[in-house]
Structure 1
Amino acid sequence: MQQAVIFVRVSKKEQDYQRQVEDLRAVAQSQAVQVVAEISEKISGAKRNQDREGIQQLLELSRQGAIQKVLVSEVSRLGRSTVEVLQIVEELTQLGVSIYVQNFGLETLKNGKRNPVAQFMFTLLAEFARLERETLRERILSGMDEARRQGIKIGRPVGATEEKAVFLKKYAAVARQLHAGLSVRNTAKLCDVAINTVRKVKTLL
């Protein structure tokens, strides 16, 4: 039986990825594969692969030979940067790990060999995801410009920025772990906070 990873991602902390997980569990059952890990991210898909903890965990399992398949609901869950997504696809392909995309029923490997149709579709879908993100960004910026023209103030209210001492007190546990010599990534895991929060604490220390 093949070992598989379920990989899900949402862009915002308030979004929920449970529906993705449940759908992919059903896919795993229908394909008779064993799910050995469920990796979830709450991070922008435009981030670089090296800055995404979930992607790094996925790649590490693949390099260890612990999995043969990755299940995702759609290509954009792997990322919204065409270059970064294709890097993931290429490395997993080289490692003999197939990626199954639920919404198109695509799989990058067939009987251990590259599926040229899937490879081509991945390139197109990754590019569509990138263009969609760029279009959304342009709309947001255009809306902000229009709001400014109408005299609407954009940004945080005056006084909303936390003072350094207040911020460090809030994340005292993070500061203690960093002082003890723990890495940023391990501190984020131990304290259950975002890695960017740990980096901010480290900068302020």
Structure 2
Amino acid sequence: MEKGVIFVRVSKREQDYQRQIEDLRAVAQTQSLQVVAEIAEKVSGAKYNQERDGLQELLTMARKREINKVLVQEVSRLGRSTVEVLNVLEELTKLQISVYVQNFGIETLKSGRRNPIAQFMFTLLAEFARLERETLRERILSGMDEARRKGKHLGRPDGSSEDKEAFLKKYPTVVRNLRLGISARKTAKICDTSINTVRKVKDYIS
């Protein structure tokens, strides 16, 4: 029998996640899935994935090969942005762990292989992620131009520098991948981080 995790999340504004759990319990029963854990989060939608204890618990179980499947009500439960969702789905897929998304009614894996429909979903998510990055970049550049027009100083105050430890804390996934022996270029792609940033992290931890 396959082992799975029910994973639910609500924002701090929402009241309860019990309905999500009950719906996914019914799915697990239909699929004859042995639920080994129910992970429920009540966190702000602004939190990054590395700051979410529940999601990190899920990923730890996945990396230890303790589960075969994850049940979620919506794919958005896996990240605050398209990029974060895509990274989680990619990691779970590489670990041969299927994700069942209830509102789409699809699983990411079929007989150990990527579901073509799920692959199409990945492609859409990747495109949305690209658009998100471009939109963010345009906003940043626009804001910088506006600041320059107003005569504001950009960047850190003169003479200041970011502490090495503080810098590494900003990129825990990059640090982990590099320590696992994954190349800098591949790490940059997986973590959606610039190659220069990854190389800087690598210099700090080597």
Q: TM-score range by the shorter chain?
A: 0.5 to 0.7
Q: Which residue of 2 aligns with 1:98?
A: 98
Unaligned runs of 5+ in 1: 132-205
> How many Å separate the matches in 2 of 1:64 and 1:14?
32
Q: How many residues align?
A: 131
Q: Give the counterpart letter for 2:40 in structure 1.
A: S
Q: Which residue of 1 aligns with 2:115?
A: 115
Q: Which residue of 1 aligns with 2:60?
A: 60
Query: Do the aligned partners of 1:4 and 1:70 also contact (CA within 8 Å) in 2?
Result: yes
Equivalent residue runs for 1:3-14 within 5 Å: 3-12=3-12, 14=14
> How many Å separate the matches in 1 of 2:7 and 2:123?
19
Answering whether residue 89 of structure 2 is matched by residue 89 of structure 1, we say: yes
Query: Do the aligned partners of 2:49 and 2:80 also contact (CA within 8 Å) in 1?
Result: no
Q: Which residue of 2 aligns with 1:71?
A: 71
Q: Which residue of 2 aligns with 1:31?
A: 31
Report the Cα offset of residue 125 of structure 1: 6.3
**In the TM superposition, what whole-angstrom CA distance separates every residue of 1:46-78 from its partner, at most 9, and x where no partner exists?**
422111111100000001110000000111111
Query: Do the aligned partners of 1:45 and 1:81 also contact (CA within 8 Å) in 2?
Result: no
Report the Cα offset of residue 45 of structure 1: 3.5
Residue aligned with 1:88, SS: helix
Residue aligned with 2:103, SS: coil
Report the Cα offset of residue 10 of structure 1: 0.3
Residue aligned with 1:15, SS: coil
**In the TM superposition, what whole-angstrom CA distance separates every residue of 1:67-110 from its partner, at most 9, and x where no partner exists?**
00000011111123011111100110111100000111111001
Q: Give the counterpart letter for 1:97 in structure 2.
A: I
Report the Cα offset of residue 41 of structure 1: 0.7
Query: Do the aligned partners of 2:70 and 2:99 also contact (CA within 8 Å) in 1?
Result: yes
**Identity across the alignment (%):** 71
Q: Give the counterpart letter for 2:3 in structure 1.
A: Q
> How many Å separate the matches in 1 of 2:11 and 2:28?
24
**TM-score with structure 2 length normalisation?**
0.58
Query: Do the aligned partners of 2:96 and 2:112 also contact (CA within 8 Å) in 1?
Result: yes
Unaligned runs of 5+ in 2: 133-206
Query: Do the aligned partners of 1:45 and 1:78 also contact (CA within 8 Å) in 2?
Result: no
Aligned residues: CA RMSD? 2.3
**In the TM superposition, what whole-angstrom CA distance separates every residue of 1:99-136 from its partner, at most 9, and x where no partner exists?**
000111111001001113213225546949x98xxxxx
Residue aligned with 2:50, SS: helix
**TM-score with structure 1 length normalisation?**
0.59
